[in-house]
Chain A
């Protein structure tokens, strides 16, 4: 290892940055779909309907109890065996949305439960339906509380998206692996660069999350 090895960085940076774009985009959309799934599942788990509640609880337990890698492989390598072929990016997005939905549903459920039950009662006593009470009264307050944990979920997913390299999604890790192979070495500068690129995203994000948490604690 020589000091001049580090000069490889400017060479690989453009490719790595294009990988970073893919990382951000796929993470963003996964969290977005995860939020939709998570809200629906979170609400279903709080409902009186035994069937809905059982079904969604099973979903959450299964997803949280199995490795993300297994879920990803099931969707990318196993689904084709039953005739469903998804391109890598879509497979990654689907797997991460399903995964993130389970975690986000727990966040949403906690957020809703943290809202005083008197809020829903007041809404119902004014003649609003359960859904109107949720939509206009409970959820807006719950979402304020769940912004910080949601930010953490985004950070987790951002890092975990590096797993998608194994199904050839052209994200940061994929390019890092390719470079190391092509150049026959330089693993140290290349993986350090990859790590720094993730850090450049996660560090500011966790600062924002921390600040949001402090804001909530102060109650404004």
Chain B
């Protein structure tokens, strides 16, 4: 579903991704962990081309990413993204947040888009919030709306960049539950998160990144409880 071949990313002199090669199969839930600044966000952003890799190849669902706009907009419809800071559109209701892209990008009729939105809102447990504005919602609710919004374009892959790290502790569970359901429905997911419980329950694989490289990867149990690499050990020692 996602194929990364020797992906490099530079910001000026800064070499952030140093040759990432990996494959994510359909239905996999890959959890990426690693210290701050190791390039986790940059990798996700490269996967849906919010950043352009300086070298290497990314293939999504058989489509090779390149610079042409049609290609990028098309691929982005297949790859949903959920951000740490939600990034809901504050001037629109929850309903409009969710239906905007289906209407403008997929060309759906408003009534059809609204039906889909209602279904998704039910799925994330917010059926009664369709007419609310983002600022009227708690952080956890906003993030669930953001997930519904990303799903509304019917992507084949969902990327999550620390989806719960801006949330109060009591709201983390509700967002993780939505993500678990999504995983159980068979969605292919790449999740940057240090939520071990989530990784162990639904993660098929954990990648440990450090200084722009994948240093270790394996089943969640192996990486968390029996890490081979000493940098992984040191990092886990700090967060556990």
Contacts and interface: CB of A to CB of B under 8 A. Distances in A.
Interface of A: 116, 118-119, 121-129, 132, 136-137, 140-141, 144
Interface residues of B, number: 26
B48 interface: yes
Nearest to B75: A127
Interface of A is mostly: helix
A165 B149 CA distance: 56
B106 to A, nearest CB: 8
Contacts of A137: 89, 100
A136 B50 contact: no
Contacts of A125: 48, 50, 76, 79-81, 150
Contact of A129 (B73, B91, B150, B153): B73
B87 A127 contact: no
A129 B73 CA distance: 7
Given A118-B83, A118-B85, A124 B91 contact: no
Ranked 8 nearest A-B pairs via Cβ:
A126-B101, A122-B87, A127-B77, A125-B81, A118-B87, A127-B105, A127-B76, A127-B73
B238 interface: no
B83 A121 contact: yes
A121 B104 contact: no
Given A132-B104, A136-B100, A136-B104, A126 B90 contact: no
Nearest to A136: B100
A175 to B, nearest CB: 44
Nearest to B100: A136
30 contacts: A118-B83, A118-B85, A119-B89, A121-B50, A121-B83, A122-B81, A122-B83, A122-B87, A122-B88, A122-B146, A123-B89, A123-B101, A124-B76, A125-B50, A125-B79, A125-B80, A126-B105, A126-B153, A127-B74, A127-B77, A127-B106, A128-B100, A128-B101, A129-B69, A132-B104, A136-B104, A137-B89, A137-B100, A141-B89, A144-B91
Nearest to B149: A126
Contacts of A144: 91
A127 B90 contact: no
